[in-house]
């Protein structure tokens, strides 16, 4: 049978599952001899039993009795004693902190008799009645479910009645009177008398804390924070100590280092003659902790010793809650302290230098999300800002610029030296030029994985999307935001980290960490100027990154379509290209070649259209391979349906209908009409599931061949120039080994042919995307014909869930996050249970057929911290992500190699 109660002397910090965070740390402090009030923890297992059975387990009662007796013996007072009563607090304490979500009852043990004992024992009658008043109020609200307003109103009434400015001005008699009123409230609203029996109070409080685990707001919070619902909470029953017994008492919070900068030293606040809830209520201003040294040097010394002890013991920055009761120090809680991103890096390396942790541990103490925060320029915190609207924080960073509404403007204004923000209803591939030119992107529609969001993240540009109040009128060249009209050319600022959009100029501060990441440690330090704290930070990041690079098993590549992006990625530490989307090379002006291909009426015209593309593609590849010289460069054959390069069916149909209606003739009309016929013919109900990827390659003769030849010829050209080109040819959307076999045969034929022409041996690896469930399920077959696998987890997520990213994020993802079907978009963080199961199956299949088969991932997930840890565990050899995410991926790949289990993504 499970044991439900643990004395503080029996537990330890590694028992958070069973004792909750608070209970485990109270036990740990007790164990190492720090001054903790006596107490015990009722386990999460008891809470789970309570949830299962709907009542407290019967054996719990006995265990609580025995533990309580030990507390009473240790203190030498009895719960609810008429003379020297022991009071206890009953506090929740779950494995993961859920601030403000769950219940606490203080001063349990007071009743009509023991209140007098407390008055006598403490020598402070006002204190005793105030404590009793607080108990009834808290108990009534928390345990009996009475509206707290009733108590507040009675208190307010009493204050007015006696003319007291604050609660402190109420005397003992007023409070005694109030207790009477409170008891009436309990009887009337709670349907019962306030329980006088101390043990009944205790049992009811315990049950109420357990019950608070399952309130709606707690469930909602857990859903949002992705905390499992079935963990349950522990309950800590602790002897009360009082910081409000006069000027020699007090309460405070201490940090072992500055949680905001990471600077070593003593940080914290102290409030004399107060209880913890007074600090929270913020009625009185706290003192700096160092003032305690003046007021009570012995206590201060004892506290700082305890802080050093805890930091050495926990080997990390700790925060501590403490109370001084008439000169005696009591520690009420400690935990590893939350900190800013900058502090995280600095503290981690400081602790290494203090020989408290290893570099492996240091990289476990920071996260990719923290690194990301450090990379972006930020708005000057001190500047005044005029909030215009909010949207979704889609791509972090701060951007300021003139409003532009189209590509032409964006390019023109940028060429004229302006910084611009591209504002669009939504973006599509045609807006790429404008996005490249812009400093930031703002859209009225779309979610975190809309085109605008994905592309902006890929470029590392600030973006706010789905700002629904924004309405764009391109014709009028103006933007309306909830009634406010802004003309193109007006300046706005957007914060991609918060989703805020401001009107007018806001000063931006660049990040030296970014400078370090892009240009190395010297440049980074130089960018810090005289800021020594920032210098320490840059060096800390450098040490962390260097170690992450040393320990990680997974390589990090980048998804780059152009040589520029490739150079940028390389500067950030990319060890190759994991995905070059060749279709991006058919946009803009080159679209007309695809139109020619599609409109070709003869075999010859078709061949000509393709032939025109060859030198363009070859040149693309030459530049790309030059930028990535010596590193693997995975070139994916064309993936999207050809009609994506053509005009929209509906727009074109309307244009043609109107032209006919108006009797227009001429070349343009003929062209449109011909094009409409083709667009109609090629129209697909579900292009995502249609003629694309390898299917397109097998259907359109010469299309893949053109690309393969361009790769081969680019290889030759680079070698002739003394380079070391390492392309890898990747086939998209393979579902069956036979598809791969056919493409491979053709590719090998072309490579041999070009090789013969130039007397070169051309044998780039030929592999495929694993991005369909069937590919993952039949990976053992596909591996027969593939030199490598690259998991395309975007598409795999689409098919595994049956979600079209373009369609569903805007339409029902918000609801799904609200009602808990999703805790996070599966396009952002890999869905381990579903999509992940297929990745694991694909890896196993591949390795079964080709032990050592090289495998990576090139979906957006390749840059997501949690997903990176999954890929490490799944055994992949590399992740590939947007150039901007490369440093984050390097760090997380390193962390994945040294941390395991629940800490992996903390």
- Would you please indicate which residues are annotated as catalytic (active-site) residues? 451, 858
Contact of 347 with 262, CB cutoff 8 Å = yes
Q: Which is nearer to a second copy, 510 or 807 (CB)?
A: 807
The order of strands in the sheet holding 470-473 is 470-473, 478-481, 484-487
- Burial group, residue 512, by CB count within 10 angstroms (0-12, 13-18, 19+): buried
Q: Which is nearer to a second copy, 132 or 813 (CB)?
A: 813
The order of strands in the sheet holding 5-7 is 5-7, 39-42, 233-239, 88-94, 104-108
The CB-side HSE value for 37 (13 A sphere, CA atoms) comes to 25
Query: In this structure, what DSSP letter does residue 265 have?
Result: E
The least distance separating a second copy from the CB of residue 162, rounded to whole angstroms, comes to 50
Which SS3 state, helix, strand or coil, does residue 113 take?
Answer: coil
Distances (CA, A) of 241 to 37, 126, 304, 798: 7, 16, 20, 57
Instruction: List all residues 6 or more positions away from 722 whose beta carbon is below 8 Å from its beta carbon.
Output: none
The least distance separating a second copy from the CB of residue 780, rounded to whole angstroms, comes to 10
Instruction: List all residues 6 or more positions away from 646 whose beta carbon is below 8 Å from its beta carbon.
Output: 594, 595, 598, 675, 678, 679, 682
The least distance separating a second copy from the CB of residue 450, rounded to whole angstroms, comes to 12
Q: Which is nearer to a second copy, 260 or 811 (CB)?
A: 811
What's the full length of the chain, in residues?
906
End-to-end CA distance of the chain: 33
**Structure tokens, 115:** 């209140």
The least distance separating a second copy from the CB of residue 685, rounded to whole angstroms, comes to 5
Q: Which is nearer to a second copy, 73 or 745 (CB)?
A: 745
327 sits in the region (left: phi over 0; alpha: psi -120 to 50; else beta) called left
Q: Which is nearer to a second copy, 696 or 898 (CB)?
A: 696
Contact of 895 with 877, CB cutoff 8 Å = no
Q: Which is nearer to a second copy, 590 or 695 (CB)?
A: 695
The least distance separating a second copy from the CB of residue 2, rounded to whole angstroms, comes to 24
The least distance separating a second copy from the CB of residue 121, rounded to whole angstroms, comes to 52
The least distance separating a second copy from the CB of residue 754, rounded to whole angstroms, comes to 24
Strand stretches in 273-374, DSSP E:
287-288, 318-325, 328-336
* Strands 484-487 and 478-481, sheet pairing: antiparallel
Quickly tell me which residue has 């740390």 as its tokens.
25
Single out the residue of 220, 313, 295 nearest to residue 250, CA to CA: 295
302 sits in the region (left: phi over 0; alpha: psi -120 to 50; else beta) called alpha
Longest alpha-carbon distance in the chain: 107
Distances (CA, A) of 813 to 500, 805, 806, 823: 21, 10, 11, 10
The least distance separating a second copy from the CB of residue 771, rounded to whole angstroms, comes to 8
Chain contacts with a second copy (rule: CB under 8 A): 649-650, 653-654, 657-658, 661-662, 684-691, 695, 698-699, 733, 735-736, 738-739, 742, 771-774, 777-778, 781, 795, 798-804, 806-808, 811-812, 815-816, 819-822, 831, 833-835, 837-838
The least distance separating a second copy from the CB of residue 455, rounded to whole angstroms, comes to 17
Contact of 136 with 179, CB cutoff 8 Å = yes
Q: Which is nearer to a second copy, 279 or 733 (CB)?
A: 733
């Amino acid at each position: 049978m499970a044991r439900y109660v643990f004395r503080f002397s029996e537990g330890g910090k590694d028992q958070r599952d069973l004792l909750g965070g608070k209970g485990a740390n109270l036990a740990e402090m007790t164990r190492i001899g720090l001054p903790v009030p006596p107490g015990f923890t009722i386990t999460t297992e008891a809470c789970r039993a309570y949830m299962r059975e709907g009542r407290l387990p019967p054996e719990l009662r006995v265990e609580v009795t025995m533990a309580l007796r030990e507390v009473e013996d240790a203190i030498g007072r009895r719960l609810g004693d008429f003379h020297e009563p022991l009071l206890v607090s009953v506090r929740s304490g779950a494995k993961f902190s859920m601030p403000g979500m769950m219940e606490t009852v203080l001063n349990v043990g007071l009743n009509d008799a023991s209140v007098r004992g407390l008055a006598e024992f403490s020598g402070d009658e006002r204190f005793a009645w105030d404590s009793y008043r607080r108990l009834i109020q808290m108990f009534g609200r928390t345990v009996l479910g009475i509206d707290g307003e009733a108590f507040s109103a009675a208190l307010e009434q009493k204050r007015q009645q006696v003319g007291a400015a604050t609660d402190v001005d109420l005397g003992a008699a007023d409070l005694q009177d109030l207790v009477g009123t409170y008891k009436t409230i309990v009887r009337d609203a709670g349907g019962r008398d306030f329980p006088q029996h101390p043990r009944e109070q205790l049992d009811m409080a315990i049950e109420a804390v357990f019950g608070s685990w399952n309130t709606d707001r707690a469930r909602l919070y857990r859903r949002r924070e992705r905390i499992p619902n079935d963990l349950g909470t522990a309950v800590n029953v602790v002897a009360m100590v009082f910081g409000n017994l006069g000027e020699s008492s007090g309460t405070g919070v201490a940090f072992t280092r500055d949680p905001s900068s990471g600077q070593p030293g003593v940080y914290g606040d102290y409030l004399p003659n107060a209880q913890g809830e007074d600090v929270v209520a913020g009625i009185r201003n706290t003192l700096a902790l160092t003032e305690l040294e003046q007021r009570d040097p012995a206590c201060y010394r004892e506290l700082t010793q305890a802080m050093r002890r805890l930091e050495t013991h926990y080997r990390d920055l700790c925060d501590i809650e403490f109370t001084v009761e008439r000169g005696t120090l009591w520690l009420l809680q400690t935990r590893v302290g939350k900190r800013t991103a900058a502090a995280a890096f600095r503290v981690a390396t400081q602790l290494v230098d203090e020989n408290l942790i290893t570099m492996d541990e240091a990289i476990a103490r920071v996260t990719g999300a923290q690194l990301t925060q450090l990379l972006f320029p930020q708005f000057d915190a001190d500047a005044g800002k005029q909030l215009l609207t909010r949207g979704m924080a889609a791509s972090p960073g701060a951007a300021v610029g003139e409003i532009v509404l189209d590509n032409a403007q964006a390019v023109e204004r940028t060429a004229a030296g302006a910084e611009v923000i591209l504002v669009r209803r939504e973006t599509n591939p045609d807006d790429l030029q404008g996005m490249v030119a812009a400093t930031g992107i703002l859209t009225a529609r779309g979610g975190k994985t809309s085109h605008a969001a994905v592309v902006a993240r890929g470029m590392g540009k600030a973006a706010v999307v789905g700002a629904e109040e924004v309405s764009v009128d391109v014709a009028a060249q103006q933007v309306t935001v909830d009634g406010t009209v802004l003309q193109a050319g007006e300046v706005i600022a957007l914060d991609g980290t918060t989703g805020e959009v401001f009107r007018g100029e806001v000063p931006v501060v660049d990040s030296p960490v970014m400078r370090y990441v892009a240009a190395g440690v010297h440049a980074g330090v130089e960018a810090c100027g005289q800021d020594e704290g920032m210098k320490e930070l840059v060096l800390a990041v450098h040490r962390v990154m260097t170690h992450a690079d040393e320990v990680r098993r997974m390589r990090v590549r980048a998804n780059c379509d152009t040589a520029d992006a490739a150079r940028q990625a390389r500067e950030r530490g990319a060890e190759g290209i994991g995905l070059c989307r060749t279709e991006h090379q058919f946009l803009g002006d080159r679209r007309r070649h695809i139109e020619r291909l599609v409109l070709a009426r003869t075999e010859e015209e078709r061949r000509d259209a393709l032939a025109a593309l060859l030198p363009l593609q070859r040149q693309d590849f030459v530049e790309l391979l030059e930028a990535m010289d010596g590193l693997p460069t995975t070139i994916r054959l064309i993936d999207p349906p050809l009609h994506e390069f053509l005009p929209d069916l509906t727009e074109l149909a309307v244009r043609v209908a109107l032209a006919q209606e108006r009797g227009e003739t001429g070349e343009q009309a003929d062209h449109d009409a011909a094009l409409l016929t083709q667009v109609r013919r090629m129209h697909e109900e579900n292009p995502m599931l249609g003629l694309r990827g390898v299917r397109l390659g097998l259907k359109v003769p010469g299309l893949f061949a053109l690309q393969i030849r361009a790769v081969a010829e680019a290889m030759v050209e680079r070698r002739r120039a003394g380079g070391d080109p390492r392309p890898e040819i990747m086939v998209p959307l393979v579902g069956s080994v036979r598809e791969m076999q056919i493409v491979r045969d053709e590719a090998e034929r072309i490579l041999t042919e070009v090789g013969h022409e130039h007397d070169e041996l051309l044998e780039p690896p030929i592999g495929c995307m694993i991005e369909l469930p069937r590919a993952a399920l039949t990976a053992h077959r596909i591996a027969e014909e593939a030199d490598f696998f690259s998991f395309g987890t975007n598409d795999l997520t689409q098919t595994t869930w049956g979600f079209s990213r373009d369609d569903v994020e805007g339409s029902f993802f918000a609801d799904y996050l609200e009602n808990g079907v999703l805790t996070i978009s599966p396009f952002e963080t890999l869905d381990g249970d579903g999509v992940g199961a297929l990745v694991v199956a694909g890896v196993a299949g591949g390795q079964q057929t080709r032990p050592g088969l090289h495998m990576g991932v090139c979906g957006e997930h390749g840059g997501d911290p949690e997903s990176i840890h999954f890929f490490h565990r799944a055994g992949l050899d590399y992740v590939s992500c947007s150039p901007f995410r490369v440093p984050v991926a390097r760090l997380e790949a390193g962390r994945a190699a040294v941390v395991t289990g629940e800490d992996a993504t903390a």
